[in-house]
Amino acid sequence: MKEEGVASKQIISINFESMKYYDLRTSLALYTYVSDLLKTMESPAYVFFDEIQIVEKWEEAVNSLFLDFQIDMYITISNSQLLSSELSTLLTGRFIHIEMQVLSFTEMLGFRSDQQETQANLLWLYIRRGGFPVVHLTDNYDEKATYMIIHDIFDSIVLRDVVQRYKIRDVELLRRILNFIAETVGSTISAKRIADYFTPVDPATVYAYLEALQCSYLITKVNRFDIKQKRVLKTQSKYYLADSGLQHAGVDRFSG
């Protein structure tokens, strides 16, 4: 934005993980602080809030700022704190929801534009290490260090986004289900098939765990489609890990 001519005095940027902004972790304190700044700023003004879920009743401050000022606002929220389906109930104004995925291969090339590697070698690197940005920010990580980082990310997602958010009782079963998907990537499977494999397990529990893994972006579901009948067949689907690095980091270690 600055390269395109937006002045620094037109931008407010706050990362709520920083203790620098500890006093702004309530909706009233945040609104008061930002509104005082906006009253002295030139238009258009741009506001960036990073990890805003840390702020108590953050949606009250966001809605009020939209109501009282002409601004462009951008906020990031950790998935463990808010589902995309809940945004519409919290934000009363118009908003665009963008789901942040891991890097695509093209995006990864942008991270490694200064390397003299061939695209074929970089593609192999992408397949082996996946698209988590932290993996490609430096060349100091070998494959072993990369997989340690991936496992740390995986554990934080499982424990924070899945187990806590969805109140998973059988964490071991959750990990076993994820292992099963990793070992059968691209195969058509169903909750019943997984339940039969882990007998005795209730298919409803397996389905609920699969839904939790999907909502936390660890896996992606692809439904079968009957082209002739033009209807989705609900009995069989394919599941894919969200990142190829998870596959190559060693599914056996998912069990902890």
pLDDT tens per residue across span 82-103: 655 566 667 765 678 777 889 9
Report pTM: 0.74
Q: Mean pLDDT lowest for which of 23-27, 76-80, 97-101?
A: 76-80
Which of 64, 62, 78, 82 lies closest to 17, judged by CA? Answer: 78
What the chain holds in terms of domains, given with CATH numbers, is 8-90 (3.30.370), 106-255 (1.10.10)
Q: Which long-range contacts (CB under 8 A, 24 or more apart) does 38-45 make?
A: 38/12, 38/65, 38/69, 38/71, 41/9, 41/10, 41/12, 42/7, 42/9, 42/10, 43/10, 43/70, 44/10, 44/70, 44/71, 44/72, 45/10, 45/11, 45/12, 45/69, 45/70, 45/71, 45/72
pLDDT at position 256, please?
Answer: 45
Which of 171, 248, 152 lies closest to 212, judged by CA? Answer: 171
pLDDT tens per residue across span 39-77: 999 888 999 999 998 999 999 999 999 889 999 999 988
100 or 192, higher pLDDT: 192
Query: In what order do the strands lie in the sheet containing 45-50?
Result: 11-15, 45-50, 71-75
pLDDT category of residue 126 using cuts at 50, 70 and 90: very high
